[in-house]
Amino acid sequence: MLEKQAPYYVQFYHMIKQMIFDGKYQPGDRINETQLAREHQVSKSPIREAIRILEKEGLLVVEKSKVVVYEPNIKDVKEVYFCRQALESFAVRLTTEIASDSELQKIEDVLDQTESALNEGAESKSIITLNEQFHSLILEFTKNSRLQKQVEDLNSLVHYFRILNFTGANRAHDILDQHRGIFSYMKKRKADQAADEMMKHLDLDVKHLLEVLE
């Protein structure tokens, strides 16, 4: 149900985005503006504004007279992860050098929470959220707003790919092991090695994603 407190276009933006992430809208599915407007008893204007934002983020594609959900492809995966490797290897290097001990502890706490969640059989959505927190804390503790903005511009597609990346038996455990490998060097203040481990981790992500897509 729509609420009056937030602008309708913001609500439609979050609603459509979440439906894509939850798989209720599948890749290639058409977004019917008229149907959405009729269902929620609003004009098409806020829906079109939400679509414009989601198109900019890469989750929707406008094809002539129709709007469809983005379909992941090998080229996009390689390009997005090329950017992630460049940005996040620098981020982990910087955070390793300048983060306080208490900030590093917050990163380790997330790893411990992830392990507990896995042991308790938590749903994949919760594990993915913890996975994202690991990466976002590393970025936050760089204290570099321009670097953060560069990564944030990729966030919607990265989250979409991250959902696919968790496909497969023991995949979540493998990712946690890789995160612990990165953090082991961060804790020792070995910035170069931490950056190398981040590069390897993201490279393994790409290889797995390509297997999933193929």
User: Is 148 within 8 Å of 142 (Cβ atoms)?
Assistant: yes
> Does 144 map to a domain?
yes
140 in a structural domain: yes
Q: Is residue 1 part of a domain?
A: no
CA distance 175 to 72: 21
15 is a domain residue: yes
pLDDT score, position 168: 84
pLDDT at residue 2 above 80?
A: no
Amino acid in position 94: L
Boundaries of domain holding 84:
74-213
- What SS3 class is residue 2? coil
**pTM assigned to the model:** 0.89
Tens digit of pLDDT for each residue in 150-208? 999 999 999 999 999 998 889 999 999 999 999 999 999 999 999 999 999 999 999 99
Query: Bridge partners of 68?
Result: 30, 61
**Domain termination residue (choose one: 54, 69, 84):** 69
Is 17 within the bounds of a domain?
yes
**Is residue 147 one of the residues assigned to a domain?**
yes
**Domain co-membership, 78 together with 156:** yes
Residues 82 and 31 in one domain: no
Tell whether the model's pLDDT for residue 143 goes beyond 90. Answer: yes
Q: Is residue 57 part of a domain?
A: yes
Rounded to whole angstroms, the Cα distance separating 40 from 112 reads 42
**pLDDT tier at 214, thresholds 50, 70, 90:** confident
SS3 call for 89: helix
SS3 category, 133:
helix
d(CA 162, CA 202): 11
The reply to whether 125 and 200 lie within a common domain is: yes
